[in-house]
Amino acid sequence: MYSHINTTRLSTIVNLILLIIITLLSVIQAYNLNIDKAKIFSHPHKYSHHRGSYFGFTVALYNSPNYEDQFVLVGAPRANTTQTLVVEPGTVYKCMLNSNCNEWQLDNTFGETHDAGTIIRDHSWLGASMSVENVENPRVVICAPRWKIKWKYDWYMNGICYYAEINANQSFDHSYIERIMSFTNKREQTAIDSNNNGYYKYGMGLLGFSLSTFRNGEKWNAVLGGPGAYSSYGTTVVLSHSQLGFNHVIPDFDEVSSTYLGYSMTSGKYFNINHIQFAAGAPRNTDMTGRVRVFYYDDYKYIVEAIDTLKGTQKGEYFGAALTSCDVDNDGKDEIIVGAPMWTKNGDEGSVYIFTTKNSKKFKLLLQIKGEVKDARFGTSVACLGDIDRDGYQDIAVGAPYENNYGAVYIFNGNQTGLSSSWSQRIFGNDFSHTMRGFGLSISEPRDIDGNGYLDVAIGAYLSGHAVVIKSQPVVSVDIKIYTKQMKIRNDTVSFPIRICSSFKGVRSPRSFNTSIKLKVDALHERAYIINLKREDRFYIMPSKLSRGVNTCENITILLKERNLNMIDPVEISALLTLDPELETSSVSSDNFYFDYPVINKNISKTEDNITLEFAVDCGDDNICHSNILLNFTTDLDNENHFVIGSKNTVKLFIDIQNYGESAYQTFVHILIPESIGLANNPVNCEPTRSSGIPEIICNMGNPLVNRHNLTLELVMKQARSIDNHVDLYAFVTTQSQNLNLNPTKQNLTIYFDDNVDIAVSGNAYETSYSCFNNENKQKLEIIKFQHVYQVHKFGVTPIMQSHLAISIPTHIIDDKTKKKIEIAKIHRTDISLHEFTDGQNSYCVQEKINNTYQTLNYPKINTNPNNYTLYINCTNPLIICTTISCFLETSSNALTIGNVAITMELQLRNFTDNVMNGTSTIYFESTGVVNITLPTGIIQKPNEKLDYTQVATTFDSSIAFASTYHFPIWIIVVSVILGILLLVLLTFGLIKLGFFNRKKKEELETLKSNEDKKHSIILETTSSREMLDKD
């Protein structure tokens, strides 16, 4: 509903994107080669058990002067013929556009001799190259480069070409007129080089591997490639035809390296528009980068002279494998187009080079077009199509016969600067049949076979045995214009008129044709609309018919919707003109090969026009609103915006906007709020959304905003987490007016989170002391069961989710003498009880043994007094092995007492030997508990506030059980008793002598004792009497 992006800019971007999409779609729909009406020919004698005939290896178009006969010649160099005595000599088929294909039997000979040698026509590849002159009665040259002669035991693959003339349809009922046998001189089959080494001169010449014909004035010439001559260095043969027959000119090369010169041939007016030169490709060359050599031929002196050399750029790219000549920039001189089908980026994508002599006496590179599909071998074939779209510049076709297994042909159009680097049409083999393979290996010279004034082309698909004839459609340039008298849209305007005019012009174009005008009316904001027109997606469709020389106009009424809030962004109206052939085909058969419907040349046409209408707003004469908006962004927290987590549920957010300038239209404030904070209320003029994944609140502050507007939002703080030290809130203002101050319309606000929470632990023993003897029979116990209970407490308002209590319990002791581990206590069970209601699923305990706990836990160490008869068992003793029980306690948000953990243990008295007790009689058993907060993480507990550790102890008295059992001898006891009696008698006698037992003294003593007993006395019960004893 609302957007902070400048809507004017967005409207321009959207329109640009739509225009690009429409343009791309028009390219995809192709240019003026009509693939929908193509004529497809297949090999007429195709058998599944035979290998492929390569029908389509070469193709050439022909039409009679009055267009009575139109056909395509198709070479099939591996085909068998009706002459069964020859094996796969190859042949040529004449395929009538309105009929079938028939074989042209150029050579019916068998076993013929020449210069005492036997001619071998088996596997001669007749139809491997072919040329048909573009005149009323054309000369035709068709070659068989693998044609052979046998002299005794030596076989030589010289190659041969057949010359014929077509002056009537009956010409194809006859064989050749003359054979071109430039390499058949017996004495020239082999030669000796300067190093006295023998080599094949013409013996493996492969004459006619490539072919090009041309006229210099009235003289007809042909250049034939022989890449196998001179031991595969290669050569060219220039033929001049006269009444005396053919004159053969063969340059003499001393080099014998394998360059394959003559692999491809072409001819053109490169330097002088009055004279034709020719060029030959040598794709292997010495350094494997490939060369193209350009020759000058003097047809009066019969001299061939090399005048320039073109070089490749990448080793192994097969630069020069294909050649053609074409005047792509219409300067009167031809450019050379060179194919390099094995140019590689990732693997045999292929490339094409265009060389020109424009403003130069030598060739220079004008453009390189690189293939984009791996293994397609773009540039395997190149052909000049002439001016196929009648725009004044010649165009070329490039074959990529292995692209996507089917093959493809690309069309590139010429222009004033040379050649477009982007193709205007791409034709796939599977556009015609899913069985087509090798489409694009051969491309014919163009011919107008239907008389519509536009050149047509044939393309071969040799691997599947197909030839496709594609007719060109007429091309028109169109123009469209939108007119309106409406200068601005007022507030009370409900509708306004527009006028759309369109026209066309073209060469040999139809008198009239139907079009569709696609109208877009305020597509971005949808404030306007049209009635009585069909709507498709975002377009209104208006049918129209254009006539040659007529400017066709239509009047349209644009309606405006009510309650329009957006008066800053202008209303944009655009019109796109497209052809509508569906309206024309109703009366024409869909398979009519000669049905013509024009296509638009988008390079020289104006197919789209648009107008922009602004609203009349109250913002001065310039109609531009200059606002001056200030933003203030605060909360109800303290000045530093500190919030104690858990202290309250909401925080108020105050937004205040003031405008000190002209009216601000479509003014919105945008508040970006983090996920951890929610929105308690949603004001009427606000709408929640998301921006880059962040929650955003967009509020309408007035349309227009004249002076001031404020807003209060409540933020929910329940989801605030202690892990976040703070959150940042951003606010900014957008308006369709031009705001003078940018920075004041953007503010950020930081809310800092503080914790108010602490945790503590306390503990007690179920019984603080136990006797180690049975109360009934006073026998020593082996096991005593006892229990320690720990309680965890929470303080403060900040909620926590989980706390951790670690309880360390001594379970083993190391005998200091034997170094053996002795079990002193077993943990019987652990019980957790939570004081607040929870499901308990996240509360649990686990245990593990630890050594020397005092080294890792921060407990105060307890020292044992050596004079004390108590054995201290705790985890600070290095001889004690402890087991730690880790309990994770789920904590509800409002809990003050989190829960209790009770540990039931069994003291193993039977394992407390003399070595363990070491003379002590009391066992002091102590466990330790430590507590901390685990969830949420990052909470720092207050230091020195509450104890987060405590000890719980139990005493076990074993003095009787472990008294000494040593027995003294009887005589010692008897003597001791007697000596005691004697000492008692002597003491009594001495006291009598001293008068100790006199009554006077006794009375004084009793009187003194009586006075003292009145001050303080202890009552001691005995079995004989009750006496008052002095405390001392």
Low-confidence ranges of the chain (pLDDT < 50): 1-14, 16-29, 585-594, 853-867, 961-967, 1005, 1009, 1011-1032
Q: Residues 991, 997: contact at Cβ < 8 Å?
A: yes
In the prediction, which pLDDT does 82 show?
81
Please state, in angstroms and rounded to a whole number, the distance separating the CA atoms of residues 122 and 147.
8
In the prediction, which pLDDT does 404 show?
95
758-957 is classed CATH 2.60.15.10 = no
Question: 250: phi > 0 → left, psi -120 to 50 → alpha, else beta; which?
Answer: beta
- 418 beta partners: 415
In the prediction, which pLDDT does 129 show?
97
pTM exceeds 0.85: no
Measured from the Cβ of residue 306, the count of other Cβ atoms closer than 10 Å reads 13
Fold (CATH) for 33-472: Methylamine Dehydrogenase; Chain H (2.130.10)
Residue 94, amino acid: K
Per-residue model confidence as pLDDT tens digits over 960-972: 544 333 445 677 7
Peptide bond preceding 65 in cis form (omega within 30 of 0): no
Q: Which two tokens stand for residue 195?
A: 């190093």
Residues in contact with 783: Cβ distance below 8 Å, sequence separation at least 6, in sequence order: 906, 907, 908, 909, 910
Please state, in angstroms and rounded to a whole number, the distance separating the CA atoms of residues 355 and 633.
67
Residues in contact with 430: Cβ distance below 8 Å, sequence separation at least 6, in sequence order: 404, 406, 436
C-alpha atoms less than 13 angstroms from C-alpha of 505 in its C-beta half-sphere: 7
Q: Are strands 608-615 and 488-489 parallel, antiparallel or unpaired?
A: parallel
What kind and span of H or E run contains 688?
strand 686-691
- Name the segment(s) of the chain with CATH classification 2.60.40.1460: 7-31+493-615
C-alpha atoms less than 13 angstroms from C-alpha of 741 in its C-beta half-sphere: 16
In the prediction, which pLDDT does 132 show?
94
Residues in contact with 392: Cβ distance below 8 Å, sequence separation at least 6, in sequence order: 330
- Contacts of residues 283-287 at CB distance under 8 Å and 24 or more positions apart, as own/partner, are 283/318, 283/319, 283/320, 283/321, 283/340, 284/232, 284/258, 284/259, 284/260, 284/318, 285/259, 285/312, 286/257, 286/259, 287/315
Question: 376: phi > 0 → left, psi -120 to 50 → alpha, else beta; which?
Answer: alpha
3-state SS of 586-615? HHCCCCCCCCCCCEECCCCCECEEEEEEEE
Angle, alpha carbons 451-452-453 (nearest 5°) = 90
Q: Are strands 335-340 and 322-326 parallel, antiparallel or unpaired?
A: antiparallel
Measured from the Cβ of residue 139, the count of other Cβ atoms closer than 10 Å reads 18
Per-residue model confidence as pLDDT tens digits over 821-867: 999 999 999 888 887 655 556 788 888 776 654 444 444 444 444 44
Q: Measuring CA to CA, which residue among 778, 749, 750 is closest to residue 959?
A: 778
In the prediction, which pLDDT does 29 show?
43
In the prediction, which pLDDT does 551 show?
95
Q: Measuring CA to CA, which residue among 293, 182, 190 is closest to residue 240?
A: 182
Q: Which two tokens stand for residue 206?
A: 């492969």
Q: For 7-31+493-615, which CATH superfamily applies?
A: Integrin domains. Chain A, domain 2 (2.60.40.1460)
- Name the segment(s) of the chain with CATH classification 2.130.10.130: 33-472
- Name the segment(s) of the chain with CATH classification 2.60.40.1530: 758-957
Please state, in angstroms and rounded to a whole number, the distance separating the CA atoms of residues 520 and 517.
10
Q: Which CATH class is domain 626-753?
A: mainly beta
Q: How far is CA 942 from the centre of its chain?
A: 50
In the prediction, which pLDDT does 21 show?
44
